[in-house]
Structures are given as C-alpha cells and as structure tokens.
Chain A
Amino acid sequence: MSTVLIVDDDDQLRRSFEKLLLEEGYKVICAASGEAAYPIVCGQAVDLTILDVRLPGMDGL
C-alpha cells in the first residue's frame, strides 16, 4: 500500500485531502507545517508528498 504525506497549514484542506485519499485506499500521513513534516520524510518511506508551497515557518521549497 502506498503512503501519501500531506503538508498543509489549512486544516480543512488537509482533512479533505486525507478523506479523499483514504477513500481511494491510500495510507495517509498529515503534517501542518514544514517543521512537522521533515522528521516524517526522514523517518519512513513516503511514496508521494502533497506539499503546500506557502507555509508558516519553513516553506515548501
């Protein structure tokens, strides 16, 4: 099963993505900021990351 990481500071948007992807049968991990997402990317194998460019603190780039 593929793992998708969603990084977005917008709560509603993150949850909508999560719901949609879960329905499709993916394993979903969420992070609200770049700082929170960084250890997840380093810690485990993520197949796809949906990353917002503009984030508070560390940005998507």
Chain B
Amino acid sequence: MPRHFTLRSRIVAMITGLIVVTISGAFVLVWYTHRTDDILGSLINREITAFQTAEELEKALINQKGFLSYYFLDGDPEWIKQLGEYRQIFKDRLDQANSRASSEEEREKIKTIEKDYFFYVELKDRLLSLHKKADPGYTSELHKEVRSQFMEVLKRCDEFKGLHRQMISKTWEQSILLARTLRAAAFSAITLVILLGLILAFFIIRQILDPLKRLTLATNPKGSSGGDEVKALSTSVQGLMRDMDKTHLELARSRETLLQSEKMALIGKLAAGTAHSIRNPLTSVKMRLFSLGRALSLNTDQKEDFQVISEEIRHIDNIVQNFLEFSRPPKLKTQMITPSEVVDLTIQLMRHRLTNYEVDVILERDGTLPQVSADPEQLKEVMVNIFVNACEAMERGGIIRIKEEEKDDPERGRTAVIKISDNGPGIPAALQDKVLQPFFTTKEQGTGLGLSIAARIVEQHGGWLDIISTEGKGTTFVISLPVKEFVQ
C-alpha cells in the first residue's frame, strides 16, 4: 500500500469500492432479469411461432400429396377442389412466414421454397391438363418428375424448419452464455467484496484499533485494555489531562522555586564577594585589637568596652565565615563511615558549648548504624549546626535527645536515620517551610545560613533533612542517609 495516502482516504476509498461493487452487482442482476425476460419472450414469441409456421408450411405441403393420384383413380373433381384448398393454405402459410421473416437468410429460404413450389405446382398442373386431354405426353416420366420436385420442395421446407431450430438453439446458447458471464461476474464481485471487506477490517484493526490500544496502554499501563478501545482511550486521555493539569501546577510551583533559588544564588554570590572583601581588614582589626589589648592597661569600664568590641568582632567573623561557606560549598571527601561515629565526634566537639548552654545530651543507640558513604567533616558540620540551633532555641537548660535508627523505606531503600530532638519552643507551622531557606532567621544575631547549609550537605550526600516540630513541645531534625551506594 502506498504510504502517501492518508488513512482516511484509504478507508473512504475502500468503503466506496464496497458500495460501488455491491450496487453495480445489484444493477447487473436487475439488467439480467430484464435480459432473460427479453430472450425468453423473443424465444417464445418469435422463434417458436416461426418454427410452428415452418412446420405448418411443411404439413400443408405434405397434405397436397396424393390428391392427384386419387383423382386419376376415380376422376372425382372433389379431390382437385380439396387440393386447391390445401394449396391456398400453403400459400397463406408462406405469406405468414414471409411477413415474420426477420433475417435475409430466412427470406432467401422462403424465396427458394416459393420458386421450387411454383415449379412443382406448374408441373402438377401440366400433368393434370395432359391427363384431362388424354395426351400421349402424359407419361410416368412426368409423374416421376413431379414426385421428385415435391421431394425437392419438402427438402426446402425441412431446411427452413432446420433454420428456425438452429435459431432457437442459438438464442438458447446466447442466454446460457449470458448466464455464465453473469455468474462469473457475480463470483468476481463476491470475491472483490470479501477482499475489500478483509482489507478494510485489516486497516481498521491494524491502523486504528491497534494504535489506539497501544496508545491506551502507553498512557495508562494499569488500565484494562479489554473491551472498548475508544472508551479505554478516552478514559486514559482524561487521566492524562488530569495529570497534565497537575504537572502544570507543579511546573508553575517549581518555576517559582527556581526563581527564588536564582535570586538566592545571586544574593549568595554577592554576599560571598562582600564577605571575602571584609575578611582581610577584619583579620587586621582582630590582630591590632589583640596587641592593643595587651599593651593597654584599662580600667573596668574600658575593659568591658574592649570585651564587647572583641565579642562583636568575633560575631562578625562568624557571619562572614558562614557566608563564605554557604556560597562556596566544599567538595565532599567521602569515605565509608558509620554515622554513629560522627555523632560521637560531634558530642565530643560540642561538649564545652553544651556545658555553657547547660544542655544535657541523651543518646539512644541500639547498635552502631550501618556504614554509609559520607564526608565525616561535613556530616559533623551538619550536626554542629543542628546542635547550635537547638541550644540557641532552648536558651538555658534543655535536653537534646539523639536517636539512631535504621529504616527500610519502600521508596527510598535502606537508610540510616539520626533524629536530633530538642525540648525548645518549637517552630510555628507557618514558618516550618522557611526554616531551611537561606537567610531565614528568627534570631537577632543569626545569618539564616546554618540550617540551610546543613540541609544542603545532607542533600549532597543523597539524603534528606526533615523537620518535625510541634509548637511549644520542641523540634526534631531527622537526618536520613542512604545506606546503598552514595550518589553525588
């Protein structure tokens, strides 16, 4: 099948073909019955009548035989009269045949019969007149001649009859031939219709139903494919449209997020540039202050001033450090390590600070966590940031509870989970989404980067950081790290 025809035109062509073949078949049938009527009608009306006329003509001739012999025997003129009647009948029949004659051949035959017959009649009349006059010319010779001429006419009449018989059989053959042709045409029409029907069915199945089925399966692999393909497709297309709406919404949301993070990245870059420029003079200030502090002998008030200045400078340094770290995340130096070890290290590192904040740490551990691929320094940073956040949230005298777990998530696979809970004021529901965003802070002296750095490091490890918080009861940070191979 040529590919450049559209499916629609092919199907339309095939249906048109089917209709044309069927209708022409019907027309041929109607025509044929008319034709049969014609043939039968002409056969009965013309040929058979003509044949009958030919037979009657022959009969009329045969009937003329013998009268002359009877007359010769008894001399009754009644015989001659009867002969005259039969002659009249023959003449009438001959005229009849002549008027019915439809072909040149027939007319030719009739003419021959006529000629021979007249000759015969003439011979017979001569014989009769010779007999009446008792002429010596009357001989059995002449008698014989009359008889042979009679046979001649009879032969001609037989031929004429034969011609009509021939014509009847010819017409009959013609009708048989026509019937045969029609039968052949009908058979080829049936074959053609079946063929076209099969091709049409093939096209509908192959080009429409199969693709529909495949489309349905592709759009909705779970849906049942049995039954009505079109219905199934419309169902799955509706599903697809719903999905599209959802995707559209998600896309809009993610575009918003992207815009936000682009903005953040820009701010981060700016901040990093600024932080880097600030750092050198700050270091200078720090050192000068240090040497100044040693050289001067200050009174109590001045000492307090000096301490505040030093403290504030340290704070500025801290902020700058965070900015730099946020804008230029260090590359992970991963190794196989159990997060339990990092937890221990962090607690050890933070001991001094925890004591300052009067915070107690409770560690719940059933056994060391399985090894994960991680950068221990970065992981420690995550925990430190969360610890610092917790300490600052609880102000004085809280409890940090660390719980280590191993989880088997059906979607995310095996994970090592570290839950760090505090009993601080918790995070208001409205702010929970924002806590991990850079530069978001509720503290007067915060940079808003600590937790976002933590979240980013965890994500770099292929894990995720969740926050569960109830206002007034505290906050739990959940660090989940995949145990399977680390994905950068």
A interface residues with partner B (beta carbon < 8 Å): 10, 12-13, 15-17, 19-20, 23
Total number of A-B contacts with CB less than 8 angstroms? 26
Distance in Å: Cβ of B461 to nearest Cβ of chain A = 27
Residue contact A12 to B284, C-beta cutoff 8 Å:
yes
Residue contact A20 to B290, C-beta cutoff 8 Å:
yes
Chain B's interface size range is 10 to 19
CB-based closest 5 A-B pairs: A16-B287, A16-B284, A12-B284, A10-B280, A13-B284
List the A residue with the shortest CB-CB distance to B285.
A16
Q: SS class of chain B's interface: helix, strand, loop or mixed? A: helix
Distance in Å: Cβ of B283 to nearest Cβ of chain A = 6
Chain B contacts for A15, CB-based, 8 A:
284
Q: Let me know if B288 is at the binding interface, CB within 8 A.
A: yes
A23 in complex: contacting residue of B281, B283, B291, CB < 8 Å:
B291
Residue contact B287 to A10, C-beta cutoff 8 Å:
no
Quick one: which of B284, B290, B294 has the most chain A CB within 10 A? B284
List the A residue with the shortest CB-CB distance to B283.
A13
Distance in Å: Cβ of A46 to nearest Cβ of chain B = 20
26 A–B contacts from the bound complex (CB under 8 Å): A10-B280, A10-B281, A10-B284, A12-B280, A12-B281, A12-B284, A13-B280, A13-B281, A13-B283, A13-B284, A15-B284, A16-B283, A16-B284, A16-B287, A16-B288, A16-B291, A17-B287, A19-B287, A19-B288, A19-B291, A20-B287, A20-B290, A20-B291, A23-B291, A23-B294, A23-B295
Given contacts A10-B281, A13-B283, A19-B291, 19 further A-B contacts (CB under 8 A): A10-B284, A12-B280, A12-B284, A13-B280, A13-B281, A13-B284, A16-B283, A16-B284, A16-B287, A16-B288, A17-B287, A19-B287, A19-B288, A20-B287, A20-B290, A20-B291, A23-B291, A23-B294, A23-B295
List the A residue with the shortest CB-CB distance to B291.
A20
Quick one: which of A10, A16, A17, A19 has the most chain B CB within 10 A? A16
Distance in Å: Cβ of B294 to nearest Cβ of chain A = 7
Query: In the bound complex, what is the Cα–Cα distance between A40 and B55 (angstroms)?
Result: 154
Query: In the bound complex, what is the Cα–Cα distance between A16 and B288 (angstroms)?
Result: 6
Query: In the bound complex, what is the Cα–Cα distance between A47 and B292 (angstroms)?
Result: 26
Query: In the bound complex, what is the Cα–Cα distance between A23 and B291 (angstroms)?
Result: 8
